[in-house]
Amino acid sequence: MSGTTWVYIFLGIYIVYCFYWGLKGYFTEKTSSGYAIAGRSIPFFAFLMAATAASFSGWTFIGHPGLIWRDGLAYAFASFYVLTIPITGTFFSKRTWLLGKRYGFITPGDMYAYYYNNEVIRFLVVITAFLYSMFYSAVQLMAAGALFNVIAGVPFTFGAIFLAFIVWFYVCTGGLKASTWVGVIQFLLLVGGIIILGFFVIKSPAFGGWGKFSAAVAGLETRLLEVPRVIHFGLGGAKGESAWTAVMILTYMFALMGIQSSPAFTMWTFGIKSPKPLAWQQAFMSTFVVGFALFFFTAFQGMGAKILELAAIGSDKIDPDIIKAVMADGLKGNLDAFKAMTDKSVVPLLMKSFLPAPMLGLVFVGAIAAIHSTAAPYIGTGGSILLRDVYWRYIKKQNVSDAEQIWVNRILATFLTIAALTVGLTSKAALVILGALATAFGFVMYVLLVGVIWGFKFPSKGAMLGVLAGMLAVFVTYKIWPRPLSMHAAFWGTFTGLVVAYICRGIGLKDTQETIERQAEVRKWLDSVDEPSDNGKKWRGIMKIVVPVWYFFAIGPACILGNSAFSFSGFPPLWSWQIFWWIVGIVMMWALCFKAEMATTNETQIERADKETMIVVKEV
């Protein structure tokens, strides 16, 4: 059978699985909280895999190798988001779950508005959630349509709409629980697809294994193998150089830390049955499992595509034996396409050129699963946030039946899906900008989280104005004056937000007595229930030194030392540096999550959260 036939076979099996969970949720979820946050009952295994899949979107599967092909190993530092995405969860998720359990929070707006006693903050979170959900989902759905077009020849618009219909169906019918259980298989397909494609690339006749491949990588031009400089004192990167300075790498990782601080992830945290899976998701599933796929197999794809491109045009930088092998193989008739390759076409071309027919079908569904794994929770939680924070609270004055809430939630999720498709199909230029802004806006939520979760002190008005200023700074440093000092807009947004929040404190803005007492009660309970053991306190002291040192050397200014530091097993120096600090990062995340007790809970803590409730948000 042809590769296209296998694509449709695997896609059909995947659709049946998605529809099964959607319909199961439709007939079983009868309460608003059951639909919106799975009745706070998402089990250990399901969250472990689904939350990891949601953290790493179709961009990881398709875009990441493409940018390694374009920008080389300096961009491959982006693979460190296997650690910087979940470290946000390490900082905040356990305490977020404890607060949700005690106070009955359903949306992140509930938590922020209660703590700061400020309803304007609720609407800022709603706006962030809406824009994040719409534009980030639009990026995913357009990627799905483009891939369907290249691999199976389906018209782009039809493919995008059809694949959007699949995710819309199981999200709208089954709610968060359906999205979570579909996310389990999506995780397996995502990681498996990346590894399979990378394996077939490096084992192809063009390379014949690691020896020739590593030798070819070592012969590439210097700009593809080094970080150009620590910082550029201007806007963006220096002329004629890669944009990936050391500080750009660091601040880009800040942007991706915004994924798990986004409103969607905060709401998902409210939905889990127990915080027990958090540490395992952060230290093992994300940092180790996905890290293994990215640091090796996406790099095989990206660097392999660059070698194949140069071989196709007969570059003298490539071993003549590789050129002969590529010409003899013909890359399944795609030789000319490799000569005109773009970052968006890298993965589809590799799939068509190297995968046997059954593997093509499996890896294609892996890519679609990666795309859906991100679009689904953002569409679902976006609809739920609009329902609870606008329709339920203000339009219906907190007097709505469960049935009405569920149906309005489905209508709002439908609206978000249509909006995402509309923006994606009609505004491609704006889509690139706004999609990139999404994670930076998510990182601005740190301004609120550090106050609620860890008690950073600034007044309610400071929090509100800080978030507003942060969002404005993100836009200005992305669109008007892009990347001052070669730093990503996410850094400038959150830096500005915190500065404004503390300026408000410095000029004497005060909270009301009610707000002061409310925050004191939250702090007292949270610090009591989450007090670390003596050993945990010791490890937290150690990690306050270890984590900044790791950031400085692994992905910060000192990462430029990797240009010539050391090499092992045929990996060039910068790739070797990345692998070394990834391994160190695994140990660091283990220590942070488990030894420092940042993400672990004991039975006493869970029991207290269950019993010591003080519900401030009603469900119906």
Please give the mean pLDDT across all residues of the chain.
Answer: 90
What is the pLDDT, as a whole number, of residue 423?
A: 86
What is the pLDDT, as a whole number, of residue 193?
A: 95
Given its phi and psi angles, is residue 104 left (phi above 0), alpha (psi -120 to 50 degrees) or beta?
Answer: left
HSE, CB side, 13 Å, CA atoms: give it for residue 266.
34
When pLDDT is cut at 50, 70 and 90, the band that residue 510 belongs to is: very high
520-524 long-range contacts, Cβ below 8 Å, gap at least 24? 522/99, 522/115, 522/452, 523/455
Give dist(CA 169, CA 414) in Å, integer: 9
Residue-wise pLDDT for 219-251, tens only, equals: 888 999 999 999 999 887 778 788 899 999 999
Checking if the pLDDT of 575 tops 60, the result is: yes
**Contact by Cβ (8 Å): 511, 459:** yes
Mean pLDDT of 396-418: 91
When pLDDT is cut at 50, 70 and 90, the band that residue 537 belongs to is: very high
The answer to which of 69-73, 175-179, 292-296, 579-583 has the lowest mean pLDDT is 175-179
Checking if the pLDDT of 328 tops 70, the result is: no
Q: What does R_g of the chain's alpha carbons equal in angstroms?
A: 24
What is the pLDDT, as a whole number, of residue 240?
A: 78
User: What is the residue extent of each domain of the chain?
Assistant: 3-226+239-456+512-611
Residues 6+ apart with CB under 8 A from 480: none
The proportion of the chain whose per-residue pLDDT surpasses 70, expressed as a percent, equals 97
What is the pLDDT, as a whole number, of residue 51?
A: 87
What is the pLDDT, as a whole number, of residue 435?
A: 63
Most confident of 265-274, 458-467, 473-482: 458-467
What is the pLDDT, as a whole number, of residue 303?
A: 94
Number of H helices and number of E strands within the chain? 28, 0
What is the pLDDT, as a whole number, of residue 436?
A: 65
Checking if the pLDDT of 309 tops 70, the result is: yes
- The SS3 of residue 72 is helix
What is the pLDDT, as a whole number, of residue 141?
A: 87
Q: How many CB atoms lie within 10 A of CB 174?
A: 29
What is the pLDDT, as a whole number, of residue 515?
A: 95
Mean pLDDT of 132-136: 84
Checking if the pLDDT of 433 tops 70, the result is: no
Residues 6+ apart with CB under 8 A from 422: none
Higher-confidence residue of 80 and 431: namely 80
Indicate the pTM of the whole model.
0.92
Residue-wise pLDDT for 5-29, tens only, equals: 999 999 999 999 999 999 998 998 8
Tell which residue, 300, 282, 348, has the closest CA to residue 150: 348
- The SS3 of residue 510 is coil
What is the pLDDT, as a whole number, of residue 94?
A: 96
Give dist(CA 552, CA 546) in Å, integer: 10
Mean pLDDT of 288-308: 94
Tell which residue, 110, 120, 37, has the closest CA to residue 389: 110
The proportion of the chain whose per-residue pLDDT surpasses 90, expressed as a percent, equals 63
Give dist(CA 414, CA 397) in Å, integer: 23
**Contact by Cβ (8 Å): 571, 66:** no
What is the pLDDT, as a whole number, of residue 593?
A: 96
Mean pLDDT of 453-473: 95
What is the pLDDT, as a whole number, of residue 312?
A: 80
**Contact by Cβ (8 Å): 278, 93:** yes
Checking if the pLDDT of 253 tops 70, the result is: yes
When pLDDT is cut at 50, 70 and 90, the band that residue 429 belongs to is: low
Give dist(CA 468, CA 294) in Å, integer: 35
Specify the residue for token string 């889990």: 272
Residues 6+ apart with CB under 8 A from 93: 260, 269, 275, 278, 282, 599
What is the pLDDT, as a whole number, of residue 1?
A: 78
Give dist(CA 578, CA 296) in Å, integer: 10
Checking if the pLDDT of 168 tops 90, the result is: yes
What is the pLDDT, as a whole number, of residue 497?
A: 97
Assigned token pair, 608? 């207290």
One-letter amino acid identity for 210? W
Q: Could you give the dihedral angle defined by the CA atoms of residues 475, 480, 482 and 485, in that order, rounded to the nearest 10 degrees?
A: -100
Q: How many CB atoms lie within 10 A of CB 43?
A: 16
Tell which residue, 130, 173, 186, has the closest CA to residue 373: 186
Q: What does CATH list as the number for 3-226+239-456+512-611?
A: 1.20.1730
Tell which residue, 545, 445, 453, has the closest CA to residue 498: 445
Mean pLDDT of 392-412: 90
Mean pLDDT of 322-344: 75
